[in-house]
Amino acid sequence: MERSFDEVEDLDVAERTLNEDHYGLEKIKERILEFLAVRQLVKNPKGTILCFVGAPGVGKTSLGKSIANATGRKFVRLALGGVHDEAEIRGHRRTYIGSMPGQIVQLMKRAGTVNPVILLDEVDKLGRDYRGDPSAALLEVLDPEQNSTFRDHYLDVDYDLSQVFFIATANVLHTIPPALQDRLEIVSLSGYTEREKVEIAKQHLIPKQCENSGIDPNNVVFTDDGVLETIRHYTREAGVRNLEREIGSCLRKIARKFVAASDKTDFRVVINAEKVQELLGTIRFRKQDTARISEIGLVNGLAWTEVGGDVLQVEATLVKGKGEVTLTGKLGEVMQESAKAALTCVRSRAEELGIDPADFNEKNLHIHVPEGAIPKDGPSAGITMATAMVSALTKKAARHDVAMTGEITLRGKVLPIGGVKEKMLAAHRFGLRTLILSKENEKDLVDIPDEVRDELTIHLVDTIDEVLKYALVYDVEEDVLETPQIWNADAPAADVSTTIE
């Protein structure tokens, strides 16, 4: 006989549980506490379906377990990665040999209660083939209006799923069918800031890895500098999974020294920045301050990837030729179209920008995005490529400490883009402190952590002319630009003092 677990009704206890399990994630914690408050006021509320979307290692699956602990419910997990048979969800009809109920009913049996937390892991990696589309079978499971009468093919009777708290996780949204997305309440988990990673390491990762390595936490002390050194020079990620591995690697080496030590009573190790380099070896990632000098035709762009934000440098160079344009760096179709739109926009206002129209016919323009082995696509590099072109054509250096992201139209209007939080965290992580965004992206700035936003100078622009005003160096004498095509960073720069325009 199935039973219903009593939920935690004390919101203070639930909040304390969430805070103990996870650092940060304030919006998600608020959403869970709101859910518990409504459960106390409404006797039979509709089932809730949350979908956590974020890069690997940001804590989506562990957050599901934490929610189960905070609500006092049983927790069961279904891994959907690679599932491509509809019968995995709905079950087989009993006329087939080896038939069995679907995974949803099996999970309910395993939980032994009608109101568990069911985590549908990696919902964006569902497959489909001649055996059906499991994502379509999930439509009934995840619809609060329909799942009270879910019908499994094996049971062939209506089964009530309305009291289940469903949580889905995904790395990206674009592979989830729109009809399924419509049934999910999307909650984005962006990457962590350096300060958040330090706190997560101190509160959760180091104690956990000390236990795994058999080391008494009192014998090993990680300083903040040691954790920061690991974050900056040995990991490059939005989450903390690799950080946990590197901390574990340090502790295993300490464990070996402890076992070999003759006097174990006074054994104590302080792991600071120098000790981290000694334990982990050569630095793997150098913190990219970007170039210390501003160059002609070299512009910093911001990109969104499945593992968080990243900084991409776009290069543009002029050579003698017949007006041909070459695009390299394994660019996708959308990015190539952005480059063509940017070029047409620049050509249409050549005289205003001080560009000789003859250059378009007598010189070849080559645009390159380094790391050519990695495919790149997306609509957010338009203004970056346009700025690189103008820099190369006018021989004005692009500022080395400025990064930008936004799409461009033929008339020079700057359009908004997505992934703003991830991109800004990436710029902050790479040491860039001045950003250029579309004015329509102003609404996204509320999601940026205060400690990041306070260190950034953000220019919100409408047109490419405003972008060029902030991105190019105008107050440098011409003879400096003519010889080496590099501008000295110590030279005075354009005024970029406004924090948010």
* pLDDT for res 479: 34
- Asked if the structure places residue 3 within a domain, the reply is no
Predicted confidence (pLDDT) at residue 35 exceeds the cutoff of 90: no
- Both 206 and 299 in one domain: the answer is no
According to DSSP, the residues that pair with 311 across neighbouring strands are: 302
- Asked if the structure places residue 496 within a domain, the reply is no
DSSP characters for 112-152? TBSS-EEEEETGGG---BTTB-HHHHHHHHT-TTTGGGEE-
Helix (H) or strand (E) holding 20: helix 11-21
* pLDDT for res 161: 82
Cβ partners under 8 Å of residue 100, min gap 6: 91, 92, 106, 154
Predicted confidence (pLDDT) at residue 259 exceeds the cutoff of 90: no
Range from 236-245, 347-356, 359-368, 479-488 carrying the lowest mean pLDDT? 479-488
For residue 299, the domain's CATH number is 3.30.230.10
Helix (H) or strand (E) holding 392: helix 382-394
- Both 419 and 461 in one domain: the answer is yes
pLDDT band at 486 (very low <50, low <70, confident <90, very high): very low
- Both 116 and 16 in one domain: the answer is yes
DSSP characters for 158-182? EE--TT-EEEEEES-STTS-HHHHT
Contact between 204 and 248 (Cβ < 8 Å): no
- Both 260 and 298 in one domain: the answer is no
Predicted confidence (pLDDT) at residue 407 exceeds the cutoff of 90: yes
CA distances from 146 to 48, 77, 334, 475 (A): 13, 22, 39, 66
Cβ partners under 8 Å of residue 496, min gap 6: 402, 434, 457, 459, 470
Q: Which two tokens stand for residue 464?
A: 């490419």
Tell whether the torsion through CA atoms of 141, 146, 150 and 153 is positive or negative. negative
Distance linking the first and last C-alpha atoms of the chain: 63
Mean pLDDT for the stretch of residues 48-60:
84
Amino acid at the residue 150: F
- Both 118 and 267 in one domain: the answer is no
**Number of neighbours of residue 176 by Cβ within 10 angstroms:** 22
- Asked if the structure places residue 343 within a domain, the reply is yes
pLDDT band at 492 (very low <50, low <70, confident <90, very high): very low
User: Which is it for strands 486-487 and 294-295: parallel, antiparallel or unpaired?
Assistant: antiparallel
Tell whether the torsion through CA atoms of 325, 328, 333 and 335 is positive or negative. negative
Q: Which residues of 235-377 form beta strands (DSSP E)?
A: 269-271, 294-295, 298-305, 308-320, 325-328, 363-368
Predicted confidence (pLDDT) at residue 357 exceeds the cutoff of 80: yes
Mean pLDDT for the stretch of residues 94-113:
83
- Both 37 and 67 in one domain: the answer is yes
Per the prediction, the chain carries an average pLDDT of 82
Nearest to 398 by CA among 298, 290, 288: 298
For residue range 168-226, list pLDDT tens digits in order: 999 888 888 888 888 888 888 877 877 888 888 988 889 999 988 888 888 888 888 88
- Both 146 and 60 in one domain: the answer is yes
Of the three residues 254, 280, 306, the one that is the final residue of a domain is 280
* pLDDT for res 360: 86
**How many helices (H) and strands (E) are present in the chain, helices listed first?**
20, 20
Of the three residues 189, 214, 248, the one that is the final residue of a domain is 189
**Number of neighbours of residue 328 by Cβ within 10 angstroms:** 12
Catalytic center residues: 380, 423
Mean pLDDT for the stretch of residues 242-247:
90
- Asked if the structure places residue 333 within a domain, the reply is yes
Nearest to 170 by CA among 329, 61, 94: 61
* pLDDT for res 359: 85
- Both 70 and 185 in one domain: the answer is yes
Predicted confidence (pLDDT) at residue 443 exceeds the cutoff of 50: yes
Of the three residues 134, 160, 189, the one that is the final residue of a domain is 189
Mean pLDDT for the stretch of residues 58-71:
85
Q: How many domains does the chain have?
A: 3
* pLDDT for res 45: 67
- Both 154 and 259 in one domain: the answer is no
- Both 235 and 339 in one domain: the answer is no
For residue 148, the domain's CATH number is 3.40.50.300
* pLDDT for res 495: 40
- pLDDT top residue among 487 and 201: 201
- Asked if the structure places residue 4 within a domain, the reply is no
pLDDT band at 289 (very low <50, low <70, confident <90, very high): very low
* pLDDT for res 166: 87
- Asked if the structure places residue 494 within a domain, the reply is no
Please state, in angstroms and rounded to a whole number, the distance separating the CA atoms of residues 257 and 269: 10
Determine the structural domain holding residue 48 and report its residue range: 11-189
In the DSSP assignment, the letter for residue 293 is S
- Both 340 and 236 in one domain: the answer is no
* Spacing of C-alpha 104 from chain mean position: 30
- Asked if the structure places residue 285 within a domain, the reply is no
Residue showing tokens 């160079």:
317
For residue range 120-166, list pLDDT tens digits in order: 888 888 877 777 778 777 887 888 777 778 888 787 788 888 888 88
Mean pLDDT for the stretch of residues 385-409:
91
pLDDT band at 501 (very low <50, low <70, confident <90, very high): very low
Predicted confidence (pLDDT) at residue 328 exceeds the cutoff of 80: yes
For residue range 413-430, list pLDDT tens digits in order: 999 988 888 888 888 878
For residue 206, the domain's CATH number is 1.10.8.60
Contact between 62 and 196 (Cβ < 8 Å): no
- Both 57 and 135 in one domain: the answer is yes
* Spacing of C-alpha 335 from chain mean position: 20
- Asked if the structure places residue 5 within a domain, the reply is no
Cβ partners under 8 Å of residue 432, min gap 6: 290, 300, 311, 401, 402, 403
